[in-house]
């Protein structure tokens, strides 16, 4: 009888242990899944962006695949069995037959089966998100948010009041106007000082930029402000400027910005990717263009993407393509910032409405 009681106690204890263990699966998975899936999506998004930059460099078609929905599903199956036998003779244990036997077995099966949907960027969505020019108001909003104006304008602005940024064509690159880099230098100086700000007012048909200045500007900032007005052909005394999309302003109180599309930005960045010399000699890819000349000498590329035959040891992101590894060095902070900014722009400036995500019917698990 004592053996049976011990068996009963063990069975009940193990049952409580199994049941209490499975009760904590759901809550414990939330924190783990949130970070695991976030990290996986971020890493795959970085790799996809770099791979498409390299493909554009080789005149290959970029392909973007969005992760639509992630639905994590779990199931836990458990079993527990026990058996016992006792032998008695006249109410007492049998003198020769073993007192009793008992057995206990248990098991569990944990199943993680996430449902992930993918949505290729194609058709109208491709044209809308990659080929449409970025609205000038979106560019100004990014600058207002504190992003470096020189970086933002080099990437997103093709021309401003007739002053051209560099232009990427099929087989060559047209350098930017020298005044463009002089403009960026003066705008950066003004932005760093914090002495001059701007407010955007969205009207029914136009956007107005209202200049906000401190009561007294330093001599250096006043010179920079006048240089900007001179380069852009603006009235230096104007406190309100009209912002429009276009190549040429209508008057000296108007800023006309011809903006780039996301694809044009990727095309510009891809042109500076270092490629194997053999691929250039064989005509597989165009030569890397030389640097533009600015007020203080050659202008370095915004982002450096290197190629190597082996996987780089210390890479921020690396992808294989045509037998080579293309990567951004983890110690290259400038390139990392530009790369992350491109990914931010990709989602920030999307125009139009998004397509509805597919409706999923998820079965419940027990």
95 and 138 co-located in one domain: no
How many CB atoms within 10 Å of residue 352?
11
Residue 173 lies in a domain: yes
Q: What does the mean pLDDT of the chain come to?
A: 80
CB count within 10 Å of CB 263 equals 17
Establish if 327 belongs to a structural domain.
yes
Looking at the structure, do residues 170 and 313 belong to the same domain, yes or no? Answer: yes
Q: Which of 119, 140, 163 is the last residue of a domain?
A: 119
Give pLDDT, residue 307.
Answer: 94
Q: Residue 136's closest CA among 256, 254, 253?
A: 256
Which pLDDT tens digit goes with each residue over 102-152? Answer: 555 655 565 666 777 777 777 777 777 788 899 998 999 899 888 999 999
Q: Are residues 108 and 131 in the same domain?
A: no
Lowest mean pLDDT among 11-15, 24-28, 140-144: 11-15
Alpha helices in the chain (DSSP H): 2-23, 25-57, 123-126, 136-144, 149-156, 178-193, 219-232, 262-270, 277-281, 333-348
Question: Which residue range(s) make up the domain with 108?
Answer: 2-119
290 lies in the same domain as 248: yes
Main-chain phi, psi angles of 293, to 5 degrees: -105, 130
Do 115 and 188 share a structural domain? no
Q: Residue 365 falls within a domain, yes or no?
A: no
* pLDDT over 60 at 91, yes or no: no
Residue 70 lies inside a defined structural domain of this protein: yes
Among 84, 119, 154, where does a domain finish?
119
Same domain? For 247 and 339 the reply is yes
Residues 70 and 139 in one domain: no
pLDDT above 70 as % of the chain: 74
Lowest-pLDDT range of 162-166, 205-209, 228-232: 205-209
242-269: average pLDDT: 92
Angstrom distances, CA of residue 250 to CA of 159, 172, 206, 227, 229: 15, 31, 13, 20, 15
In a domain, 183, yes or no: yes
pLDDT at 33 over 90: no
Let me know if residue 353 belongs to a domain: no
134 in the same domain as 9: no
DSSP conformation class of 32:
H
Alpha helices (runs of H) in 194-332, residue ranges in sequence order? 219-232, 262-270, 277-281
Say whether pTM exceeds 0.85.
Answer: no
Pick the more confident residue, 361 or 322.
Answer: 322
Residue 366: band (very low, low, confident or very high) from pLDDT cuts 50, 70, 90? very low
User: Same domain for 111 and 69?
Assistant: yes
User: Is residue 336 assigned to a domain?
Assistant: yes
Q: Are residues 109 and 154 in the same domain?
A: no
Q: Is the pLDDT of residue 355 over 80?
A: no
Total domains in the chain come to 2
Same-domain check for residues 151 and 37? no
**Domain presence at residue 363:** no
Lowest mean pLDDT among 114-118, 244-248, 254-258, 353-357: 353-357
> In the beta sheet, which residues pair with residue 75?
111
Of 88, 119, 150, the residue at which a domain comes to its end is 119
Q: Are residues 36 and 182 in the same domain?
A: no
């Amino acid at each position: 009888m004592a053996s049976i009681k011990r068996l009963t106690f063990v069975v009940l204890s193990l049952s409580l242990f199994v049941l209490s263990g499975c009760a904590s699966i759901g809550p414990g998975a939330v924190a783990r899944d949130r970070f695991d899936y976030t990290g996986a999506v971020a890493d795959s998004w970085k790799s996809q962006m770099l791979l498409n930059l390299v493909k554009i460099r080789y005149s290959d078609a970029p392909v973007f695949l969005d992760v639509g929905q992630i639905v994590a599903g779990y199931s836990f199956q458990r079993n527990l069995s026990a058996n016992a036998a006792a032998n008695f003779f006249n109410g007492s244990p049998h003198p020769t037959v073993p007192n009793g036997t008992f057995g206990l077995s248990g098991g569990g099966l944990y199943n993680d089966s996430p449902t992930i949907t993918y949505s290729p960027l194609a058709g109208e969505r491709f044209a809308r998100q990659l080929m449409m020019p970025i609205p000038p108001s979106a560019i100004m909003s990014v600058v207002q948010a504190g992003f470096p104006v020189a970086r933002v304008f080099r990437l997103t602005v093709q021309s401003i009041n007739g002053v051209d940024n560099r232009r990427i064509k099929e087989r060559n690159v047209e350098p930017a106007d020298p005044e463009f880099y002089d403009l960026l230098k003066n705008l950066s100086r003004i932005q760093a000082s914090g002495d001059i700000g701007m407010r955007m007012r969205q009207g029914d048909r136009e956007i107005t930029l209202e200049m906000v200045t401190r009561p007294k500007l330093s001599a250096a900032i006043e010179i920079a402000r006048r240089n900007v007005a001179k380069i852009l052909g603006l009235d230096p005394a104007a406190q309100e400027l009209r912002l429009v999309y276009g190549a040429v302003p209508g008057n000296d109180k108007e800023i006309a910005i011809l903006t780039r599309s996301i694809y044009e930005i990727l095309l510009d960045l891809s042109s500076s990717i270092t490629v194997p010399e053999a691929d250039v000699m064989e005509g597989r890819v165009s030569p890397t263009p030389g640097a533009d000349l600015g007020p203080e000498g050659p202008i370095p590329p915004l982002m450096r993407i290197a190629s190597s035959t082996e996987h780089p040891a210390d890479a921020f992101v690396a992808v294989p393509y045509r037998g080579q590894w293309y990567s951004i060095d983890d110690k290259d902070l400038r390139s990392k910032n530009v790369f992350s900014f491109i990914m931010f722009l990709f989602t920030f400036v999307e125009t139009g409405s998004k397509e509805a995500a597919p409706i999923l019917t998820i079965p419940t698990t027990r």
